[in-house]
A and B are shown apart, each in its own frame.
Chain A
């Protein structure tokens, strides 16, 4: 019996949480399964943030330097695994804080576990506003809601309309994937149209299932409606499939967008440069922000230094910034007390690499950041400059789509 007790004591001492001079932060990411590509990107962001902190000797907590260690597990892109691994990290591995996984559905299930265990849960992978409308205290989100994505894009379109480049009123074909992401996008566009006092009317309002194989009937409906704008919200595979069918159906709109999709190199390779020209997209972050945002510039340089000159995408930036937000709150709290860190996260206000340049978790939005999106447009020279908001713009957008026949 005594031997067993000693053994247990040794095991407890060896467990991460009992290593008094270091902070163990738990996280899961979809490193295998359908989201593995993006999970890998977030991992790069997390690892860069932890490495940079280690280089500085760790975090300064209550006047003492403490190293931070990431305990990262693979949630295999499934909701149940994400939730059970979060439970394991908290109750078996005894991590002090949690960083979130990627994809709305995984964050949604994992955040329940964090809330039940009263542990700060900072994530950069869940955008749906529904996650933050549950009155949870321990979740903090760095991905702005998709409604704002639609809103940012509509603001640019509205400016073009006011400049006389687009018809008023303009009709919209609004297609959205049948997910919380798509529903938020739809709400953003619909709300903007409703506020526009007749500036916009939604003529086609349809949703579609993920990973669709045939959009021809849906696109036929769009064609028949003869709208001015085509605004869709789709994941990358559906964007590629739909855009291929869009082009072959001979469709062309004054404004064409697939929400967050559009400027990806992969899409240009799959569709051909010509078939992605003038597509409008709005994303949470772009490396082009480095031109005007010092935090973004520093991140891009650090990332390129670590990963052989490769340019980061928004996934890595969000991963990095998520870890940095938690690190800052721990340092500001000056202790590892969960409640103290939670309070500092709730009151956080720091310069950020994100658009708008500031990171906060507003209580009125359930502690989800409300940073603006950057709107980009694919131009004929192969570039995709930021065209809005004006303070981040690196180029000028073109409307109406010059590729359409007059």
Chain B
């Protein structure tokens, strides 16, 4: 029973991390119908930004969340304004957007190699190895904090999309951009803000990840892959679905150790992905548009 509780807690905490990594990717796809391959690059950039603020200015990584998110938002807005805006919309822009954003990712990654070298970096705080007892198991304070941040992000995103004019406009644009133009919503502006928001979420995920494990400029590739799995499982464009899919993926991965060797547990998620694509191509929760 104790082992079950330990595994359950580990799953829930891991789900928090996965959800944080996937929100940005899901949001941008849901509204712009663009797969942001630079999501991995921004996860890495967020990790370095948090690390730099901690090392150079002594700012706690959790206090750095807001400035890093704001800076990444601006980067996202600029990326959209300078590059993404020029792409053709819809299916026609699919390949171009993949190539363009993959190129941006390569530039970001190589810039990081030049600036920070390939050395692994870590963010070490006084609570890095602090643990608290929970349901008979010792739980890392850091992991709890990451989970809390994931939960907070979910609530904020939900409130933003449901209760604010901007959120309603984002949802409207996601559903029918042409009609939005007719009722006076600036679709380009919404696209730009959504791209900024998605980029900020990626950077936040990177910063949170940096508090848990070492990273270098190649950081973000594995996280992007995992984000894909979560977003596809949850149904593209569904924020709540993303959170639930993250939990399902984490539960399957963690509990898989009871029946299969540990090195295969990472592959379980991809098997799940293939199964969902074959049996429910719209994701476990369907193709809902940011609902």
Please list the residues of chain A having a beta carbon within 8 angstroms of any beta carbon in chain B: 32-37, 40, 77, 175, 178, 206-209, 211-214, 216-218, 220-221, 224, 236-237, 240-241, 244-245, 247-250, 266, 269-272, 275
Contacts and interface: CB of A to CB of B under 8 A. Distances in A.
A245 B261 contact: no
Interface residues of B, number: 40
Given A217-B10, A217-B254, A34 B128 contact: no
A249 B118 CA distance: 30
Given A34-B216, A34-B218, A266-B120, A206 B263 contact: yes
13 contacts: A32-B113, A36-B118, A207-B262, A213-B209, A213-B212, A213-B222, A214-B17, A216-B10, A217-B255, A218-B257, A245-B140, A249-B131, A250-B138
A64 B258 CA distance: 68
A220 B212 contact: no
B179 interface: no
Interface in B60-74: none
A206 B262 CA distance: 6
A241 B121 CA distance: 12
A35 B118 contact: yes
A37 B6 CA distance: 37
Interface string B1-39: 001001100100110010000000000000000000000
A386 B222 CA distance: 37
Looking at chain A's contact residues, the main secondary structure is helix
A379 to B, nearest CB: 19
A148 to B, nearest CB: 24
A220 B13 CA distance: 15
Contacts of A217: 7, 10, 253-255, 257, 262, 265
A271 B10 contact: no
A35 B10 CA distance: 31
Contacts of B255: 217
B54 interface: no
A248 B129 contact: yes
Contact of B119 (A37, A271, A275): A37
B129 A209 contact: no
A175 B263 CA distance: 10
Nearest to B255: A217
B124 A269 contact: yes
A237 B124 contact: no
B138 A32 contact: no
A124 B142 CA distance: 39
A245 B143 CA distance: 10
B271 interface: no
A269 B266 CA distance: 29
B257 A36 contact: no
A394 to B, nearest CB: 28
A95 B262 CA distance: 45
B261 A220 contact: no
A235 to B, nearest CB: 9
Given A213-B213, A250-B138, A218 B262 contact: yes
Contact of B17 (A77, A213, A269): A213
A386 to B, nearest CB: 25
List the 8 closest pairs (A to B, CB-CB), nearest first.
A36-B118, A270-B122, A216-B10, A248-B131, A237-B214, A248-B140, A241-B213, A217-B257
Interface in B104-161: 110, 113, 117-120, 122, 124, 128-131, 138-140, 142
A304 to B, nearest CB: 21
